[in-house]
Chain A
C-alpha cells in the first residue's frame, strides 16, 4: 500500500497479434497450394490457396507497416546499409519481400498454365512461407527477459499453428469436396494435436520456471487471459478439434467445418495471449 508504481506500456499491441494470425494463415495456404502438386486430392485448392495467400500478404503487409510509428520508414528495413542481421525482424522483412515476389511469379505461372515452372515456384514459395511463422516465432524467442517468449519451442509452435490455420481455411474453401476434406482432416487433426501438446509443454516449463515465469503463468491462466488461453485457445481451439476430428464422426462435413472454425478462433486467441501475456508482467517493473 502507498507504493508509487510507474506504469509502462506494452511494446507490442494487439494489432501485432492480428498480423501473426494473418501471416500464419497465408503461410498455411501456401503449404496447401504446394501440397496440391504432390497430393492430387488438394488440386481444387491450388489457385484458391495461392490467391488467398497473396491477398492476405497484402493485408499483413499493411498491418505491419501501419503498426510502425514511422510507417514511411519501412523501406529502412530493406536498406542494405542499415540492415542488422542479428535482428530476426531484418530476416523477416527479407523473407516477406522474397515470399511476395515468388508468390507473384507463381500466380503468373499458374495463369500461363506452365506446369514445370509452377511446381518449382510452388516449392520455393512454400519454403519461403515456412520462414514466415519461423521468423515470427524467433521474433519473440530472442527476447531473453520474457518468459514464454524466450523458449526454443516458439518457432515450432508458430509453424504448427500456421499449418492448423491454413488447413482450416483450406477446409472452408474446399467445402463439399470429399477427397480434399479427407486430406485436410488429417492436416487439421495432427497440427491441432501438435499445438495442444506444445501448449502443455509451454505451460509446464513456465509454471516451473523462476519467479517471473511463475507470475507469467498466473497471468496466462487466470482472468481474461486465462479464459482466452486455456478456454478458447487450448481447450476449444486445439483439444476440442483434435478430439472431434479423431472421433468416428470426425469425417462428416459438419464436424470438419466446426473444427475448422474452432481452430481459427483458437488460433487467433492463442496468438493474442502468447503476444500480450508475457508483456503484462514487465509493465509494472
Chain B
C-alpha cells in the first residue's frame, strides 16, 4: 500500500520497521472440509453456536456447470479498525507490532458496540456457560492466533489447512509468502468501500459471496424461522 493511501496514524501497513501480519485465502484451493473451523474451535474452546472462523458456501453457476464456492471468514484485522475506535473502554485494541486486533476480556463491559461497528460480523458474544474456559459474557473474536504467532508458529487454521488455502505472514516483509501472493495475484478484500483496510486477502473469491445480493433481503418473519431452526440448540 502506498503512503498516499494511509489515512489514519493507526495504520501500520508499509511502515518501515513494523510488522503487519496478514492472511491470504486462496479460495481456489479451499475444499470446504471445515478443518480450519474445527482447529480453531479446539484451540480456543469456542462454544457451540459461535465461531472465530467459519466457512459459508454458495452454490454458483447454472446446472450442469454448478459448483460450491467457499469463502472462509474470520476477523480481518483491519488496519483502520472501526471496532477499536468504537470501544468505550479500550477493551479492543491494536497491537502496533503485527497489527493484531485483540480483546481485553477483563475490561470488556459487553456493550456490543464493537459488534455493531464490525462490517464483517467477526465478533460475537460468548455465552454464559462454557465447559472448560471461565471467560464468559464478553465479546470475543479471532486473534490471528497471537499466542502462537509470538512463538513463531502460524495460526491454528493455517497449520491445519490441508489444501494450503490459507497462508499467513508479515505483509510488510517483501520476502514473505503473503507479500508474494498479494503482489503476483489479483486479490480481493471484503467490503473495501468501508475503508477499514482489511488484512485478509482473497484470491478467486466469488462476488456472489462477497457482496450483498438480493438474496440478503428476506422478510424478517421468514428469516426468523430459518434462524431459529439454525440456532435451535443454542442458548446464550
Q: Cα distance A272–B196 when bound, in Å? A: 28
B45 interface residue per 8 A CB criterion: no
Assess whether A8 is interfacial by the CB under 8 Å rule: yes
CB closest chain-B residue, reference A278:
B116
| Known A68-B109, A70-B108: A144·B194 in contact at CB below 8 Å | yes
Q: What residues on A are CB-neighbors of B223 within 8 Å?
A: 280, 283-284
A87 touching B87 by the CB < 8 A rule?
yes
Complex CA–CA separation, A283 to B223 (angstroms): 10
For B51, give the chain A residue with the smallest CB separation.
A6
Decide if B195 is an interface residue (CB 8 Å cutoff): yes
The residue among A11, A146, A222 with the most chain B CB atoms within 10 A of its own CB is: A11
Cα–Cα, bound, A68→B217 (Å): 29
User: Which residues in A have their C-beta under 8 angstroms from that of B59?
Assistant: 1-3
The CA of A219 and the CA of B217, in the complex, are separated in Å by 7
- Which listed residue, B82, B87, B213, touches A143 by the CB 8 Å rule? B82
- For B107, the chain A residues whose CB sits under 8 A away are 73, 76, 82
Q: A6-B54, A6-B56, A215-B214 are in contact. Are A87 and B88 (CB under 8 A)?
A: yes
B164 at the interface (CB under 8 A from A): no
A-contact 0/1 string along B85-96, CB 8 Å cutoff: 111111000000
Contact with B along A238-250 (1 / 0, CB 8 A): 0000000000000
Number of A-B residue pairs having CB atoms within 8 Å of each other in the complex? 144
Check B57 for interface membership: any CB of A closer than 8 A.
yes
For chain B residues 51-90, which have a beta carbon within 8 Å of chain A? 51, 54, 56-59, 73, 82, 85-90
A90 contacts B by Cβ under 8 Å: yes
Residues of A within 8 A of B113 (CB): 11, 87, 89, 139
Are A70 and B116 touching (Cβ within 8 A)? no
The residues in B between 93 and 119 inclusive whose CB is less than 8 angstroms from any CB of A are: 107-113, 115-119
With a cutoff of 8 Å between Cβ atoms, the chain A residues found around residue B56 in the complex are: 3-6
**Inter-chain contact A89/B54, CB cutoff 8 Å:** no
In the complex, which residues of chain A have a beta carbon less than 8 angstroms from the beta carbon of B132? none
| Most A C-beta atoms less than 10 A away, residue of B58, B110, B217 | B217
CB pair B116–A143 under 8 Å, yes or no, is yes
A145 touches B86 (CB 8 A): no
Among A79, A86, A87, which residue has the most Cβ atoms of chain B within 10 A? A87
* Interface presence of A225 (CB below 8 A): yes
The interface size bin for chain B is 35 or more
Contact of B117 (CB < 8 Å), options: A5, A142, A285:
A142
Residue of B nearest to A275 (CB): B116
Question: Do A89 and B86 contact each other (CB < 8 Å), given the known contacts A4-B57, A68-B109?
Answer: yes
Q: Mark A60-84, 1 if CB is under 8 A from B, else 0.
A: 0000000111100110110100111
**Within 8 Å of chain A (Cβ to Cβ): is B227?**
yes
Which residues of chain A from 82 to 98 have any CB-CB distance to chain B below 8 Å in the complex? 82-84, 86-87, 89-90, 93
A11 touches B217 (CB 8 A): no
Query: In whole Å, how far is B136's beta carbon from the nearest beta carbon of chain A?
Result: 9
CB closest residue in chain B, given A142: B86
Output the least CB separation between B157 and chain A (Å).
16
How far, in whole Å, are A218 and B138 apart by their CA atoms in the complex? 33
Q: Which residues of chain A in 174-213 are interfacial with respect to chain B, using CB atoms and an 8 Å cutoff?
A: 210-212
Considering the complex, give the chain A residue whose CB is closest to the CB of B136.
Answer: A69
Q: Is the CB of A215 within 8 A of B216?
A: yes
A84 with B87, Cβ < 8 A, contacts A145-B194, A215-B212, A222-B219 known:
yes
Which residue of chain A has its CB nearest to the CB of B122? A8
CA distance A154 to B16 in the complex (A): 40
Question: How far, in whole Å, are A74 and B193 apart by their CA atoms in the complex?
Answer: 34
Contact residues of B with A, CB < 8 Å?
Answer: 51, 54, 56-59, 73, 82, 85-90, 107-113, 115-121, 124-125, 137-138, 191, 193-196, 211-221, 223, 226-227, 230-231
Extra contacts besides A6-B51, A212-B212 (14): CB < 8 Å: A3-B57, A3-B59, A4-B56, A69-B137, A70-B137, A77-B111, A84-B87, A84-B88, A86-B85, A211-B211, A211-B212, A219-B220, A281-B212, A283-B223
Binding site for B on A (CB under 8 A): 1-9, 11-12, 67-70, 73-74, 76-77, 79, 82-84, 86-87, 89-90, 93, 139, 142-146, 210-212, 215, 218-219, 222-225, 279-285
Q: Ordered nearest first, which 3 A-B pairs have the shortest CB separation? A: A69-B110, A145-B119, A89-B88
